[in-house]
Structure 1
Amino acid sequence: MTSPALTATVDLGAIAHNVDVLRTASNAAVMAVVKADAYGHGAVPVAKAALAAGAAELGVAHITEARALRAAGVDAPITAWLHAPGADFEGAVTDHIGIALSSSRQLDAVVAAARATGVAASVTAKVDTGLNRSGIAAEEWDDFAEQVAKAHAEGAVTLRAVMCHLARGDEPDHPLNSEQAARLDAAAADLARLGAAPEIMHIANSPAALTRPDLARDMVRPGVAVYGRTPVPELGDFGLIPAMTLSAPVALVKKVAAGAGVSYSHTWIAPHDTVVAVIPRVMPTACRDCCRVASRSGSATASSAGSAGSAWISWSSTSGRTGPGSGRATRSNSSAPGPAAAPPPRTGPTPSARSTTRSCPRSATAWSGAT
């Protein structure tokens, strides 16, 4: 059984533009997060484009992702922060990959790797300041701080940074954001008193990088914003440009009358007489969030409309005609009506000079969430 090809075209010029937007908004260095194959955009080309545009460092979830970048010739600083038991810390140390630590157990394993390889490990203390996910718990912090300071004094590790993840970053005015920053500042002060002051601090994710420059510290750590998705839609697009365009063959075009529902549960109701195009390919959720779908009449956002086997786009007409090419494409859900907005001015390279085309796998897989 086969299915029509779904093609993803990644505009590396948009990646460069978005890095510049983030650096300007935060007035800080940028660690571009390229985990999960750069959110499906291609880790190696995106990493190289982000670095060329001025990103200072790269961030990934797993050591295997960081080592793949090293193997592809990326020599910039890379930090990996999620480690299952048995993680290849020796490989990370040998490849000069920064290792973010969430527990004393991980610290012990990294110190052992450093001694086995004869290379000091570059580590980041990842502090749980309120997300209550990974990170060093508050009740474990004092013991961890003493242990990492001892390892630093012995030369087994160098303390590159302290970091944490914001729990409410997409709510810029939420008081927890400032509380988490204060807890991270206190952790850095503890390490300094123990003689192991970190070189840098980073806390700000995509929304904080764009809306809370007071949280920038030395570096911001954006994920989805690098790829052009606004992290706080109610505040606009911040001048970001979506980097991926999806295209696929259209299987069927048909007229739909005003008031008629489309697809399962009729989750979208036609506000006027219109035309829908059926694409025999499901759009993964992350693609719908991050990407635009090119159509013959312009740019549109496709919706799976509850279907496991097709996506659809509707066209509206300002001239009284309907059908492809007769007007601008519109968003195909009732929460975002109206013509698709024109992209903001570009500051990076032109897309024709900095684009790559990728064929998506037949079975779409949603990638990991925002950083």
Structure 2
Amino acid sequence: MVINSMKLYLKRENLIHNMEYLRKSKGKEVLPVVKANAYGHGVEEIVQILYDNGQREFAVARYVEAERILKMGLKDLKILIFESIGDLSLVKDKEELEISANTYEELEKIIDFGVDSKRVQIKIDFGFGRNGILIRDLQRLKEYIDKKQLNFRGIYSHLFAVNYEEGLEYIGKFHEILRYLGKERFQMIHLQNSAGVLNFDCEDVTHLRVGMLIYGLQEVGFYDENLKQVFSLEGRVAGVRDISENRYIAYGTKEELGFLSTKYIAKIKIGYADGFLKINEKSNCLINNKEFPIVIVSMDNTFIEVDTSVKEGDRVVLYHDISKSVAHNGMNIYEMLTLLSPRLEREII
């Protein structure tokens, strides 16, 4: 009897390939973003693969994410936290952690608290409505830096998916700010997110701050055929039943579900408690290289309409065609992956 659940398989070779490809093609170091459980892939698994390949710098959104990495017990790490730290005592004595100054006032607070500026990265806000020191505060920022003679771990901003002309304009502004504040005061300089990496080159940056691209995930309009997908969501059929005489499929009638003529149902061990949402109903999965429709997603199991060719133990692949999954669910693939629960086992292959 097959009892194994579905798993998120992580292809080590593809992850390393993507990192090396981005590094070599752009001639910059890569700062991998592993927030949101490494975009759903599993932060411990992804960090361990990259660490074993020599990576020592990582970026996360929140302190609790950095804490998960610290618990792995790895040596010589540097972890940048994007969001503000409410309680600076949590990070003051943790030399591995680098924190962001997201407002001028926050920078003063950090320095006054005794955190070494060489563990601080300044974020600049170009008016995107996100975190960052405002342009209007640049003069007093410079005066404060000069007065205190501060040198920082880094400086960065967010070059989101703007059109090409605006992107060039913001890159130019960023370079002006660097010159104004003193480029020599910053060890690390980064501006591009994944879309920015594909669309622009930035002379002054030292690092590419990349999230979805290291996982081989790409959006419409931003595509590089050299990147390889890291994840595969798959498992085995846990059972097949003849329901030709049944009125119900799991919790709904055949008529309600729109599968009135269904004769055979296969069950797989994944459900919305694992982050595989009910929105996936009436999309397709792949069994033995053939597409079959998903009938119903329950909390712990998913039921698929199949034919007599499908047997218990056959290989099942979910999200096998990302473009179709994105179109059906109305969600980006990284949105779907970040919903996947830690209950769903990750395995490195």
- Change in Cα spacing, 1:229 to 1:174, as seen in structure 2 (3 Å) is same
Moved more, 76-85 or 206-215: 206-215
Superimposed CA distance per residue, residues 136-164 of structure 1 (whole angstroms, 9 cap, x where no aligned partner): 1222232223223433x1xxx53122101
- Change in Cα spacing, 1:297 to 1:61, as seen in structure 2 (3 Å) is same
Residue 222 of structure 1: which of 205, 210, 226 is its match?
210
Aligned to 1:76: 77
Return 5+ residue gaps in structure 1 as ranges. Answer: 256-262, 338-358, 365-371
Deviation at 1:334, TM superposition (A): 11
Superimposed CA distance per residue, residues 261-293 of structure 1 (whole angstroms, 9 cap, x where no aligned partner): xx99x9x999xx99875545136379x99xxx9
- Change in Cα spacing, 1:228 to 1:113, as seen in structure 2 (3 Å) is same
Q: Any residues of structure 2 matched to 1:322-341 within 5 Å, and which?
A: 323=310, 336=324
Deviation at 1:214, TM superposition (A): 4.2
Residue 167 of structure 1: which of 120, 138, 160 is its match?
160
- Change in Cα spacing, 1:294 to 1:360, as seen in structure 2 (3 Å) is farther
Aligned to 1:97: 97
Aligned to 1:28: 28
Q: Which amino acid aligns with 2:227?
A: G
Q: CA separation in 1, counterparts of 2:203 and 2:67?
A: 30
Residue 137 of structure 1: which of 124, 130, 134 is its match?
134
Aligned residues: 309
Q: CA separation in 2, counterparts of 1:25 and 1:334?
A: 25
Q: CA separation in 2, counterparts of 1:28 and 1:180?
A: 20
Q: CA separation in 2, counterparts of 1:233 and 1:313?
A: 33
Where 1:241 maps in the other structure, the secondary structure is coil
Where 2:158 maps in the other structure, the secondary structure is coil
- Change in Cα spacing, 1:303 to 1:178, as seen in structure 2 (3 Å) is farther
Aligned to 1:148: 145
- Change in Cα spacing, 1:120 to 1:101, as seen in structure 2 (3 Å) is closer
Q: Which amino acid aligns with 1:40?
A: G
Question: For the Cα contact (< 8 Å) 2:285–2:317, is it kept in 1?
Answer: no
Q: CA separation in 1, counterparts of 2:34 and 2:99?
A: 15
- Change in Cα spacing, 1:143 to 1:276, as seen in structure 2 (3 Å) is farther
Question: For the Cα contact (< 8 Å) 2:118–2:153, is it kept in 1?
Answer: no
Q: CA separation in 1, counterparts of 2:103 and 2:147?
A: 15
Residue 231 of structure 2: which of 222, 228, 243 is its match?
243
Q: Which amino acid aligns with 1:181?
A: I
Superimposed CA distance per residue, residues 288-314 of structure 1 (whole angstroms, 9 cap, x where no aligned partner): 99xxx99651498x9978956465668
Q: Which amino acid aligns with 1:188?
A: L
Q: CA separation in 2, counterparts of 1:123 and 1:330?
A: 41
Aligned to 2:186: 198
Q: Which amino acid aligns with 2:180?
A: D
Question: For the Cα contact (< 8 Å) 1:6–1:360, is it kept in 2?
Answer: no
Q: Any residues of structure 2 matched to 1:1-371 within 5 Å, and which?
A: 5-53=5-53, 55=55, 57-71=57-71, 72-88=73-89, 91-114=91-114, 121-151=118-148, 153=149, 158-168=151-161, 173-192=163-182, 197-214=185-202, 217-232=205-220, 235=223, 237-247=225-235, 249-250=237-238, 252=240, 277=266, 279=268, 281-282=271-272, 284=275, 296-298=287-289, 309=299, 311=302, 323=310, 336=324, 360-361=341-342
Q: CA separation in 1, counterparts of 2:92 and 2:321?
A: 45
Superimposed CA distance per residue, residues 96-133 of structure 1 (whole angstroms, 9 cap, x where no aligned partner): 42222111222122213326xxx554211101124221
Question: TM-score under structure 2 normalisation?
Answer: 0.68
Question: For the Cα contact (< 8 Å) 2:158–2:192, is it kept in 1?
Answer: yes
Greater share of residues in strand: 2
Question: For the Cα contact (< 8 Å) 2:235–2:317, is it kept in 1?
Answer: no
- Change in Cα spacing, 1:5 to 1:86, as seen in structure 2 (3 Å) is same
* Identical positions, percent: 18
Question: For the Cα contact (< 8 Å) 1:314–1:330, is it kept in 2?
Answer: no
Deviation at 1:216, TM superposition (A): 7.8
Q: Which amino acid aligns with 1:141?
A: L
Q: CA separation in 1, counterparts of 2:182 and 2:147?
A: 12
Where 2:120 maps in the other structure, the secondary structure is strand
Aligned to 1:350: none
Deviation at 1:204, TM superposition (A): 1.3
Q: CA separation in 1, counterparts of 2:93 and 2:290?
A: 45
- Change in Cα spacing, 1:295 to 1:85, as seen in structure 2 (3 Å) is same
Where 1:162 maps in the other structure, the secondary structure is strand
Question: For the Cα contact (< 8 Å) 1:22–1:210, is it kept in 2?
Answer: no
Question: For the Cα contact (< 8 Å) 2:56–2:76, is it kept in 1?
Answer: no
Return 5+ residue gaps in structure 2 as ranges. Answer: 244-251, 326-339
